[in-house]
Amino acid sequence: MRMLLGIIVGGLLTVGGAYIYDSHNALDAVNAPASAQRPLVNWDIVGTKWQHLTVRARSEWTRLAG
């Protein structure tokens, strides 16, 4: 149980850290030239993939639950 909790907390810390890093550097990236440091994560693509995942999970649940 501790290991599962550790995996979940570790994943949340990783994603949260990347989000905080990107949100802090977002204003700098808008005003900087293209050669400047870009965000770590393309959050638009993450959102699209997450939406596809949830739609598929719901459809599979509906199929299995009847």
Residue 48 has pLDDT above 60, yes or no: yes
Using the predicted structure, report yes or no on whether residue 31 has a pLDDT greater than 70. Answer: no
Structure confidence at residue 3 (pLDDT): 95
pTM, entire model: 0.51
DSSP state of 34: T
Q: Examine the pLDDT at 44 and tell me if it is beyond 70.
A: yes
Q: What is the mean pLDDT of residues 28-45?
A: 69
Please, which residues have CB within 8 angstroms of residue 38's CB and are 6 or more apart in sequence?
29
pLDDT band of 5, cuts 50, 70, 90: very high
Cβ burial of 25 (10 Å; 0-12, 13-18, 19+) is middle
